[in-house]
């Protein structure tokens, strides 16, 4: 004889009908959006098939890559160095602006509510405008070349790094800062003696991450005339020199992998 297992009837889920209806509505909206999106972008699988021929001839042109030292490899290496310098300066020269705005835009360190809102707005603007748009503006202003790229990266990176730094300061332990406040330290002293040293490790990690991203961005900036290897790749495409382009891309890949490895190596060392 087994004793009966006790059971209890499950009460009805409140407003179950509503839930199902709203899930179905969400799915319907999702599908409709995609129908419009596919039409709007001339999305056609058949174009991929017919385009395969063009792709093949492109690859045939690109191989073997042109490794001529004088006309291809040396200029590619030189331009890649410029790309690296653009990424480096775009990162380091945005440190002062990013730092100032981060301190103003962090709830724990801002001197005033109005300053806080204003710096948040400035950071949002510089973050929202893509670096490539800044590059187009600066190419018109200061002319074609790497300097326009550096200026573009400074602007966009200030927005991104300032936001990341402000957030990391808001997340660090505010205790030491409060301790100094009770000792009579001024707001500026609280920032330089507690808030900043508390967040320094995070700051350096984020800086290296942004350097990594900025080197990659500076490659794209070259495509719109802002100097570096991107400019050479653009010229190769326009003159149908796909074999030269292949070489240039390989050189860039090596640079990007090196920078990525270096920055993650340093970040790992900093964590311990």
Partner 1 sequence: MTTLRLPDRAPHPAPPAGGEIMQVRNLTKSFGGRTVLDGVDFTLSRGSVVAFLGANGSGKSTTLKCVMGLETPESGSITLEGTDLSTLRGTELVRARSGVAMVFQKIHLVPRRTALENVCAGALGRLRGPASVSPMFFSRELKEEAMAALARVGMADRAHEKAGRLSGGQAQRVAVARALCQRASVLLADEPVSALDPRAAEEVMALLAELAHAENLAVAAVLHQPDLALRHADTVIGLVDGRIEYSGDISGLDASMQARLYTPNRAAA
Q: Which residues bind partner 1 (CB under 8 A)?
A: 175-176, 178-180, 182-186, 188-189, 192-194, 197-198, 200-201
> Minimum distance from CB of 141 to partner 1 (Å)?
35
Tokens, residue 10 = 């499950």
Nearer to partner 1 among residue 189 and residue 234 (C-beta): 189
Nearer to partner 1 among residue 124 and residue 192 (C-beta): 192
Nearer to partner 1 among residue 74 and residue 183 (C-beta): 183
> Minimum distance from CB of 202 to partner 1 (Å)?
11
Residue 195 DSSP one-character state: I
Quote the crossing angle between the two packed helices 74-92 and 229-238, to the nearest 10°: 130
> Minimum distance from CB of 107 to partner 1 (Å)?
17
Three-state secondary-structure class, residue 64: coil
Nearer to partner 1 among residue 134 and residue 203 (C-beta): 203
> Minimum distance from CB of 200 to partner 1 (Å)?
6
Alpha-carbon gap, residue 93 to 95, rounded angstroms: 5
Other beta carbons less than 10 A from residue 264's beta carbon: 13
Considering only CA atoms, give the Rg of the chain.
Answer: 27
Per DSSP, the residues of 97-139 read HHHHHHHHTSTTT-S-HHHHHHHHHHHHHHHHS-HHHHHHHHH
Nearer to partner 1 among residue 6 and residue 184 (C-beta): 184
161 within 8 A of 210, measured Cβ to Cβ: yes
> Minimum distance from CB of 161 to partner 1 (Å)?
20
Element spanning 31, H or E: helix 16-40
247 within 8 A of 185, measured Cβ to Cβ: no
Tokens, residue 42 = 């001339």
> Minimum distance from CB of 99 to partner 1 (Å)?
13
Nearer to partner 1 among residue 207 and residue 224 (C-beta): 207
Residue 162 to residues 86, 134, 154: CA-CA distances in angstroms? Answer: 19, 17, 11
Nearer to partner 1 among residue 178 and residue 261 (C-beta): 178
> Minimum distance from CB of 111 to partner 1 (Å)?
14
Element spanning 66, H or E: none
């Amino acid at each position: 004889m087994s004793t009966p297992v006790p059971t209890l009837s499950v009460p009805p889920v409140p407003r179950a009908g509503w839930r199902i209806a709203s899930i179905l509505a969400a799915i319907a909206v999702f599908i409709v959006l995609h129908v419009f999106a596919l039409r709007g972008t001339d999305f056609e699988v058949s174009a991929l098939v017919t385009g395969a021929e063009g792709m093949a001839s492109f690859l045939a042109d690109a191989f073997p890559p042109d490794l001529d030292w004088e006309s291809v490899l040396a200029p590619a290496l030189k331009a890649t160095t410029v790309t690296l310098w653009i990424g480096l300066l775009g990162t380091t020269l945005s440190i002062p602006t990013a730092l100032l705005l981060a301190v103003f835009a962090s709830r724990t360190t801002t001197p005033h509510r109005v300053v806080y809102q204003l710096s948040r707005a400035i950071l949002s603007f510089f973050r929202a405008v893509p670096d490539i748009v800044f590059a187009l503006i600066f190419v018109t202003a200061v002319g074609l070349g790497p300097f326009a790229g550096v200026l573009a990266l400074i602007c966009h990176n200030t927005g991104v790094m300032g936001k990341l730094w402000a957030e990391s300061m808001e997340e660090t332990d505010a205790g030491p800062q409060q301790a100094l406040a009770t000792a009579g330290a001024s707001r500026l002293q609280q920032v330089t003696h507690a808030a900043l040293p508390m967040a320094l490790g995070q700051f350096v990690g984020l800086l290296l991450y942004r350097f990594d991203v900025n080197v990659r961005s500076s490659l794209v900036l070259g495509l719109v005339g802002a100097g570096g290897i991107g400019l050479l790749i653009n010229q190769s495409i326009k003159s149908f020199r796909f074999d030269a382009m292949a070489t240039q891309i390989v050189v860039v890949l090596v640079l990007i992998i090196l920078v990525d490895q270096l920055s993650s190596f340093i970040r790992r060392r900093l964590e311990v």
